[in-house]
Amino acid sequence: MTRLPGDGEKVTADTGSARVWNVTEPDRSFARGDFLSVGPSLFRRVREGGRRRARLAWLRRTRPPEVSLHGFRVAVDYQRWSKTMVEVFYRGLYEVDEVEVLRRVVRPGDRVLDVGAAVGVGTMAAAEVVGSDRVWAVEANPELIALADRNFALNGLSPTLIHAAVVPDAHTEDTAQLFLHEHFWSNALFAKVSDARPVSVPARRISELVQELQPNVLVLDVEGLERDLVLGTDMSPVQVLIIETHARYAGRRAASDIVAYGLEQGFAIDLVDGVGETLVLTKRLP
């Protein structure tokens, strides 16, 4: 791969066809409001902010086919993605919390089922710990399957990728209707906006997947339908549940119901490893 300019070097667009810029650190400069601190730390933040701006300027000008995100090479789809989506990847903000949680929680020897894998970033975070043969990724959006496969190949990983919408056990059909939104991370089995585009996709029932694959770590990121997948499902093989609650639009009640059901099933709330809206329920507290 063509070597990229370092922080202390002049930024140039002439880096060859395989242009990648490292944005592994999320752009959270001054996010905590502590930029008024005086002394060397202030100047360090100013310097780092300047480097981030230089990186962003280089990315926007050159539009590389890949970026480095959380330590992984990740392809950017300029044809389908909006400017907002591209910017999120440029800034290193995509799946920050989920990747952080996975790297804290997943242990060697685990079997990980990642439901709602999208472009596979969280899947790769699990696979780097346990190996590809112990990770399964499920994604409903047909437009993301090839992209996830490409990202796996770029990083020398080969987790099993299943194209399907994971549905509650009460769903009796072999297909489901997925609504595609402008931003792929908003795709869901219900329309959030009036211009969402419906497509028919294969369906897999949650209990069948859990019993078939026997994961002890289950990751759920299905844009507000987490409650419907968790409640009533036999989670006996699962030791750790990592759930994007999406409480902002799924509602706090839905998140509370997930917690209550988890407690009934013998899980405890992991207050250390959970981050933001990423809830961790575990049976293996020390």
Percent of the chain having pLDDT more than 90?
69
Tens-place pLDDT, residues 224-274: 889 999 999 999 999 999 999 887 777 889 999 999 999 999 999 999 999
Residue 20 φ/ψ, nearest 5 degrees:
-135, 140
| 85 Cα distance to chain centroid | 13
Tens-place pLDDT, residues 180-212: 988 888 888 887 777 889 999 999 999 999 999
Segment 116-125 shows an average pLDDT of 97
| Res 277: pLDDT | 87
Give the Cβ contact number of residue 212 at 10 Å.
Answer: 11
| Res 26: pLDDT | 52
The CA radius of gyration of the chain, in Å to the nearest whole number, is 20
Name residues whose C-beta falls within 8 Å of residue 75's C-beta, 6 or more positions apart in sequence.
65, 66, 119, 147, 150, 151, 154
Around 9, how many Cα atoms within 13 Å sit in the side-chain half-sphere?
Answer: 8
**Model confidence at 33, in pLDDT bands (50, 70, 90)?**
very low
Percent of the chain having pLDDT more than 70?
85
